[in-house]
Amino acid sequence: MNDRKGIALDGGYGWLIVLASFVNQALTVGITYTFGVILVKLLDTFKSEESTTAWIGSIQSCLLYLVGIIGGPLIRRFGWRVVAISGSILSAIGFASSGLVNNLYLLYLTYGIITGIGNGLVYLTSMVCIQHYFDKRRALATGIVVSGSGVGMLLFSVATPALLKKIEWRATFFVQAAIMLSGSFFSALYKPIKMQVLSERTPLMESSCEETEKKSKHSSFTIDLSLFQEPIFIIFCISLLSFGFSYHVPFTYTPDRAIHISGGEITLSDASIFVSIMGISSVIGRLIMGSFSDTIPNIRFYIFGSVLILGGILNMSISIFTTYIRIVFYSILFGVFSGFFAALFPVVLVDLLGVNEIEKSMGQALAVTSFGFLVASPLSGKFNNFFLADFVILTLFNFRFNYSAYKQFRHTILGCRRMRIFRRIDLPFNKNYHLV
């Protein structure tokens, strides 16, 4: 366990960081995953295909994670506070611009790209900084922080339909812009820290003894891809990619799917309750797993893999959830499993690679995951339009990859590393890419 000088870990100002990160998670993730409610209005306005319109939300959710590949170096150079505030402002600009456009494809730029990049910077910062402030209570603090996204999904899934009913979608975007701008206040609470590690349990990869939250502003801006030389990180990313194929789809399509299979008996307001249920269940799952996993650090990895497998099986069974009660039941289970995943993902990454690498490892892992988010919703929309296959085919990837990665490959990879048989992979990843 770590003994550190220079700051009181596991408490003190760290709890204020927890609050700030909780709010930023609620804003960024909450708005992103209620796009399914807005999707219905956009379909009515632009008379476009479902898969075409779904690209808007997919681009935003993709960039929420993809921006991590540059977010990590930005955090190391400019610090948590500057990056998070800049992200809040950029996101607000994107939402405000979206309220002014009259072309569906311009929403790809404003709502998808600009807002996605801004949200991604805020999201990554909120996930990274909490790992530095806590050690013994890291999983608990992370669980509380990531439960903010579930609370955000709950609040925005209720508020967004109400706003759409009263002021329509353009004005709703302006309201969301103001909300995101308010997040810059909480981002200003991110206090830079510097601490010395006196002793530390050895992670699966060695880390240095000294760490800082912020690198010198005079250092060059580089993207270091050396983590992709590590087999365990590659396996971890493959599993996250497969998870990304199915995670975003239920949030986007469950309201529209419920309306469709009910023959119109379920209204948009009624259907939005499913997203709320997912949000509530996700909050509960995050808090439970965050509290529980601090007591079992040695088996967190196995629990993480099991959660992904069970979530894949659940999504593969989506076609049997065809009534209102069954969809409610599905929403509860999916919310709980997604909550378990969100609470475990950051702490497992620290267990594997160490806290000193968290900006780089989390940013790059999220970037890999983003490609699953990018293609999942549009492809699922194509299946809905032409084959009526729901999202079964996409979630098949989830189960297949996770089963292989966690049940078959992990012991082989770790065993080979211990025997020094499985060498680091060279390729283009042994270089730092200087952008500035």
Residue 411, both tokens: 């012991």
> Around 288, how many Cα atoms within 13 Å sit in the side-chain half-sphere?
13
Give the CA distances from residue 369 to residues 108, 238, 376, 427, in Å, rounded to whole numbers and listed in that order: 20, 8, 11, 21
Write down the pLDDT at residue 1.
Answer: 42
Residue by residue, pLDDT tens for the chain (436 residues) are 444 444 546 777 889 999 999 999 999 988 887 887 888 888 888 888 877 888 888 888 888 888 988 888 898 888 899 999 999 999 999 999 999 998 899 999 999 999 999 999 999 999 998 888 888 888 888 889 988 887 887 888 788 888 888 888 899 999 999 999 999 999 999 987 754 444 444 444 444 334 444 444 444 567 777 888 888 888 888 877 777 777 767 777 787 778 878 777 787 777 878 878 887 888 899 888 888 887 877 778 788 878 877 887 787 777 788 888 888 999 999 889 888 888 888 888 888 888 887 888 888 888 888 877 777 656 655 555 444 444 444 444 444 444 444 443 444 444 444 444 344 444 444 444 444 4
179 CB-near residues (< 8 Å, 6+ apart): 27, 31
Write down the pLDDT at residue 426.
Answer: 46
Place of tokens 């709950």: 154
In 317-436, where does DSSP find H-type helix?
Answer: 324-353, 358-386, 392-403, 410-418
Torsion sign (Cα): 293, 298, 301, 305: negative
Domains and CATH numbers, the chain: 3-434 (1.20.1250.20)
Instruction: For residue 4, list its beta bridge partners.
Output: 197
Residue at 137: amino acid letter = R
Q: Give me the numbers of helices (H) and strands (E) for the chain, helices first please.
A: 15, 5
What is d(CA 100, CA 292) in angstroms, rounded to the nearest whole number?
Answer: 46
R_g (Cα) of the chain, nearest Å: 21
Residue 352, both tokens: 């594997």
135 CB-near residues (< 8 Å, 6+ apart): 1, 2, 4, 9, 10
